[in-house]
Amino acid sequence: MLFLSILLAFDASTYNRANTLFRSQKYEDALSLYLKLENQGLKNPYLEYNLGNTYYRLGQSGKALLHYERAYFLKPRDNDIRWNLYLIKGKTERFENPFIHILKPLMHILSFKESVYLSSIFYFLSMISLAGLIIYRGRIWQVSSYVFLVFFVFTFSIYSSWAAEIHKHTAVITVNEVIGRAGPGEDYDEVAKIKDGEEVKILEEKLHYYLVQISNGPTVWVKKEGVEKIFSPLRTIQ
């Protein structure tokens, strides 16, 4: 399902033409228009979700996963985004620790941006209430300070959860296959082959190579081409 909502920031004409092309199964043409919007600096869940859908239809699962992850980061409560992300990740998340599987949706009930704003607001309100409690010692100040403090701890926990994910430096393989080597160069032995759509953790960067941690596998050096970071400083503040 395509998001049809058009925000004022959108080039509505281009966005709607891209949606029409997608519905007509002209995926390459739709992709070029969606990418045009992305290259204009437009970053929002609607565009990221539609990019994910288009890449998925074109058989590029790595690119699809990349954009679904970005859409989820911006709008984590959206059921369509969550469902498509779950489907494209397949079986991998079914073997998560059950406690983490239950806790993750709770820690992502707000977006990163929402958690920043709300934790700041509740911190400010809890400090005002605490000051009122110290000065006036009224019951209402006591109750409000407890309530605002609880909300601050909750929203700050969500912020911390997102911040931890951002600093994991997670990336996605976006080409059919990359060769993992024992060192940062083609003269080093081949250690592993990593397929399109696999997520890796970037540990180090050297020249044209990343040192990455494969999920449940070794650390290897791979060429930067074909490896795209999910999060960047620019995306986290928008």
Percent of the chain, pLDDT > 90?
A: 70
CA distance 148 to 154: 10
Phi-psi region of 78 (alpha: psi -120 to 50; beta: other; left: phi over 0): beta
Torsion of Cα atoms, 74 then 76 then 81 then 86, to 10° = 130
Percent of the chain, pLDDT > 70?
A: 87
User: Which of these ranges, 124-128, 133-137, 146-150, has the smallest mean pLDDT?
Assistant: 133-137
pLDDT surpassing 60 at residue 238: no
Q: How are beta strands 199-206 and 177-181 bridged, if at all?
A: unpaired
pLDDT in tens, 175-212: 999 999 999 999 999 999 999 999 999 999 998 999 99
pTM for the model stands at: 0.85
Q: Which helix (H) or strand (E) is 170 found in, with range?
A: strand 170-173
For the segment(s) 12-95, the CATH number from 3.40.1030.10, 1.25.40.10, 2.30.40.10, 3.30.420.40 is 1.25.40.10
**pLDDT score at 129:** 94
* Average pLDDT rounded to a whole number, residues 55-65: 95
Delimit the domains of the chain by residue range.
12-95, 107-166, 170-236
**pLDDT score at 7:** 47
Q: State whether CATH 2.30.30.40 applies to domain 170-236.
A: yes
- Average confidence score pLDDT of the chain: 87
* Average pLDDT rounded to a whole number, residues 123-151: 93
Alpha helices in the chain (DSSP H): 12-23, 27-39, 45-57, 61-74, 79-89, 98-107, 112-136, 139-166, 233-236
pLDDT in tens, 27-41: 999 999 999 998 887
**pLDDT score at 106:** 82
Q: Which of 11-15, 29-33, 217-221 has the highest mean pLDDT?
A: 29-33
pLDDT in tens, 91-126: 445 445 555 556 777 889 999 999 999 999 999 999
Question: 100 vs 59, which has greater pLDDT?
Answer: 59
